Amino acid sequence: MSTRLVVSGTDTDVGKTVFSAALAGTLDADYWKPVQAGRDDGTDALRVARLSGLPPERILPERYILNTPASPHYAARIDGVTIDANDLAPPPAKERPLVIEGAGGLMVPINEDTLFSDVFARWKLPLVLCARTTLGTINHSLLSIEAVKRRDIPLVGIAFIGEEYAESERIICKIGGVRHLGRLPPLSPLTSEALRAAFATSFNLSDFTA
Ligand SMILES: Nc1ncnc2c1ncn2[C@@H]1O[C@H](COP(=O)(O)OP(=O)(O)OP(=O)(O)O)[C@@H](O)[C@H]1O
Ligand SMILES: [Mg+2]
């Protein structure tokens, strides 16, 4: 049976989808985004399909696709839907790995009383935390690490995205007591090939398969 990994982040827009595409592509994994809020600008699943180089059947269908790019609890309410945490059980482990991307950050509500981090705590799957490198990341990262640890979610480590800010990265990992998995630099143009190469240079695959 193969690894199932959760990719979460310190915030929305930190680069979870780009990182997930690199990770899923490199692991030759399945990718699953259980809750997609907002569809007009394209979905994360479509972005991963494009960036990972994986064949279409590796991109599993979302459990909820909501119309509004907002917090899932609110986007669901607008669509007249209630997200049930029981409906978000991850697919069983298969012979190939699975990369699961959460929506937004850890403390994002899926309904009136459940956060995404509560769902991850139920799953007990290892979690990779994606974080920006830019100003503000120390606070966001340490708060996120505390939320993960409080719920006894196994934390693989932290994956930084952006330009190098070595001191921020160092102090987060020291005080947070987490592994620095690597840093994905800004890529321009952001292509599947450039992403695959940057991931190979910046991360050790064995950190994700143990
Ligand atoms: N390494 C990178 N190089 C260049 N652009 C990047 C990189 N990482 C992320 N981006 C860009 O930053 C934006 C946000 O990235 P991404 O969609 O991966 O964030 P996210 O955390 O998945 O957001 P959401 O919370 O909406 O799921 C996108 O436009 C993406 O193309
Ligand atoms: Mg995303």
pLDDT of amino acid 2: 77
Q: Which ligand is nearest to the Cα of residue 12, counting in written order?
A: 1
Distances (CA, A) of 69 to 77, 110, 139: 12, 13, 25
pLDDT of amino acid 1: 58
Write out the residues surrounding ion ligand 2, Cβ under 5 A: 16-17, 44
Cis omega (within 30 of 0) for bond into 126: no
Identify whether 174 is a catalytic site residue.
no
Q: Is the pLDDT of residue 58 over 90?
A: yes
Q: Which ligand is nearest to the Cα of residue 13, counting in written order?
A: 1
Ligand 1 pocket check: which of 11, 14, 17 to mutate, most ligand atoms within 8 Å of Cβ?
17
pLDDT of amino acid 13: 96
pTM to 2 decimals? 0.98
Q: Identify the sign of the CA torsion 98, 103, 105, 109.
A: negative
Q: Which residues lie with the beta carbon below 6 Å from any ligand 1 atom?
A: 9, 12-18, 44, 104, 161, 184, 186-187, 190
